[in-house]
Amino acid sequence: MGRLPSPVWSARDLVDRLARQSPARLALGVFASVVAIFTGLLSLPAATATGERAPFVDAFFTATSAVCVTGLVTVDTGTYWSPLGQVFILVAIKIGGLGVMTLASLLGMAVSRRIGLTQRLLVSSETKMTRLGEVGSLVRTVIVTSTLFEVAIAVVLVPRFVALGEEWGRATWHGVFYAVSAFNNAGFIPTTEGLGPFVSDWWVLLPIIVGVFVGSLGFPVILDVIRRFRTPRRWNLHSKLTLVTSAGLVVFGSAVVAAFEWTNPRTFAPLDWPATILASLFAGVMPRSGGFSTVQVGEMREGTWLLNDALMFVGGGSASTAGGIKVTTLAVMLLAIVAEARGDRDVEAFGRRIPREALHTAIAVSFVSATIVLVASLALLAITDLTLDVVLFEVISAFATVGLSTGITNDLPDEGKYVLALLMFVGRTGTMTLAAALALRSRRRVIRYPEERPIIG
C-alpha cells in the first residue's frame, strides 16, 4: 500500500504558496520579522554603551526606525549605543534600504546562482516592477548602485573628517555611517552634535544632499537612467515624472525655507549668504525622506513646519528608500487637475496617456495616508498634552519615514512611542502594500449600471 502524501506542507512550500497568492502580505511578515530580530540584538547588554540592557521600548523603537529607514530616535545614537549597537543599527538601515525581498533574492542568487519565480514575484511586488524578466537586472542594479554610491560618499567624507581633526579610524566610521544613512534616507547620525557644526561646510553637506536625493528617486528610475543615460528622451514615463517632480519640489522647498528662515535669529540669520544658500538647499532636500538637519528644527518658524509637513507627506519616489505618498502620486493628481481645468478627456504627460486606474490608485493612497495621519495625530493628542503643530509634524515625519523632529520624541510616554513606531512600519510597508493590491485588483463586470454624474465641488 503506497504512502499517502503528507498533508503538512514544509515551511518552504508555505512561503512559496503565500508568495504567489499574496506577495505583499509576505513582505509585511518578513519586515516584521526583521524588526523583531534587530529588537533582540539591540536588547543585548553589549549593544549599549553602559553595558546594561536597553528598555524594550527603546530597543524596539530604534530597530523599527532603522529597518524602516526613518531616523526618529528615543535615545542618542552616538552616546547611548555601543560601537556594536551602532553596527547593528547600520546593518538594519542597509537591509531596510535595500528592501527585504531584494535582499532575499540576492541571497538566493548567491546560493543557487539564479532567481526563482517566487523571488521574482516578491521583488516585483516590492519594487513595482511589472515585467518579471527585469527583476534579475533590477536586483543587481540595486546592490551595485547602492554600494557604489555609499562608497563614493564615504570616500569624499572621510578625508574631510580627517582634515577637521578626527583620527582615521573614527573618521572612516563616521564617513561610512553617514554615507549609508544618507543614501538610504535613514537620517541616523553617529554623533551627539550631528551636522550642526558643518552648517556652512559644502564638502560635508553636498555629498549627503546628493546621496539623499539619488536614494529617494527609486531603483527603477536609477536602472532606467543608467540604461539610457545618453538618450533621456527614451526614459520611461515613471522616470521622467519622478525626476521632474522631485527637482521641482526641491527648488520650491529650498526657496520657501529660505524665505521663512532667512531672518530667523535662531536658525539662518547668523549665517552668511553662501552658508544660508547651503542650509536652504539642505533643508529643501531633507523632507524627501532624508531626515538630517543642520539647524534645530524646533527653532524653525511655524510656516516652515507647515511646509515640511506637506513636503514630508509627499516623500520621494516609488520603490525607493523614501516614504510618503510618493512624488508620482502627486504628479498624477496634479496632471489630472490640469486636464480637468482644460477640459481634456485624457490625462497626459510627455507624450503618453496615463490610465484612469493610476489616478484611482493615487487618490486611494493619498486618502488612506491622510486618514492614517489623522488617526495617529488624534491618538497622540489624547495621550499627551502637546499642541497640534508639533504632534502633526512628528506624526507625518514618522509615517513618511523622514526622521525630522521638533524634539518631542524623546519625551513621549511609552504609548506615544509605540504609536510612532507603528506609524513608521505602516509608512514603510502599508502604502506600498495598498498600492500593489489596488494595482493588481481588477474586476470585470458583465452588467454595468446606467451612468449618472453627481455634482462635484
CA 369, CA 324: separation in Å to the nearest integer? Answer: 8
What pLDDT band is residue 140 in, cutting at 50, 70 and 90?
low
CA 261, CA 255: separation in Å to the nearest integer? Answer: 10
Find, among 351, 330, 350, the residue nearest to 245 by Cα.
330
What pLDDT band is residue 221 in, cutting at 50, 70 and 90?
confident
pLDDT tens, position by position, 269-288: 999 999 999 999 999 999 98
Average pLDDT over the chain reads 84
DSSP 282-304: HHHHGGGTT---SS-GGGS-HHH
Q: Does pLDDT of 18 surpass 90?
A: no
Poorest-pLDDT segment among 56-60, 138-142, 328-332: 138-142
Q: Does pLDDT of 442 surpass 70?
A: no
Q: How many CB atoms lie within 10 A of CB 27?
A: 23
Residue type present at position 128:
K
More confident residue, 19 or 82: 82
More confident residue, 457 or 246: 246
Considering 80-89, 225-234, 321-330, the range whose residues carry the highest mean pLDDT is 80-89
Domain coordinates in residue numbering, the chain: 18-440
Locus of grid cell 511646509: 307
C-alpha cell at 248: 521641482
Q: What is the CA radius of gyration of the chain?
A: 23
Residues paired with 348 in a beta bridge? 353
Poorest-pLDDT segment among 11-15, 280-284, 394-398: 11-15
Q: How many CB atoms lie within 10 A of CB 430?
A: 19
Q: Does pLDDT of 9 surpass 50?
A: no
3-state DSSP call for residue 349? strand
C-alpha cell at 416: 506615544
Considering 5-9, 28-32, 207-211, 431-435, the range whose residues carry the highest mean pLDDT is 207-211
Q: What is the structure's pLDDT at 288?
A: 86
C-alpha cell at 382: 489624547
This prediction has a pTM of 0.87
Q: What is the rounded (10 degree) CA torsion for 340, 343, 345, 348?
A: -60
Q: What is the mean pLDDT of residues 435-450?
A: 61
| Contact (CB, 8 A) for 93 and 69 | yes
CA 397, CA 308: separation in Å to the nearest integer? Answer: 9
Find, among 386, 407, 397, 401, the residue nearest to 431 by Cα.
401
Q: What is the rounded (10 degree) CA torsion for 396, 31, 57, 399?
A: 0
3-state DSSP call for residue 329? helix
| Contact (CB, 8 A) for 190 and 166 | no
111 burial type by CB count under 10 A (0-12 exposed, 13-18 middle, 19+ buried): exposed
Q: Please, how many CA atoms are within 13 Å of residue 26, restricted to the half-sphere of its CB?
A: 23
Element housing 348 (H / E): strand 347-349
Q: Alpha helix locations (H) across 197-316? A: 202-215, 219-227, 237-261, 273-285, 302-314
| Contact (CB, 8 A) for 228 and 234 | yes
Element housing 368 (H / E): helix 356-383
What pLDDT band is residue 337 in, cutting at 50, 70 and 90?
very high
Q: pLDDT over 90 for what percent of the chain?
A: 61
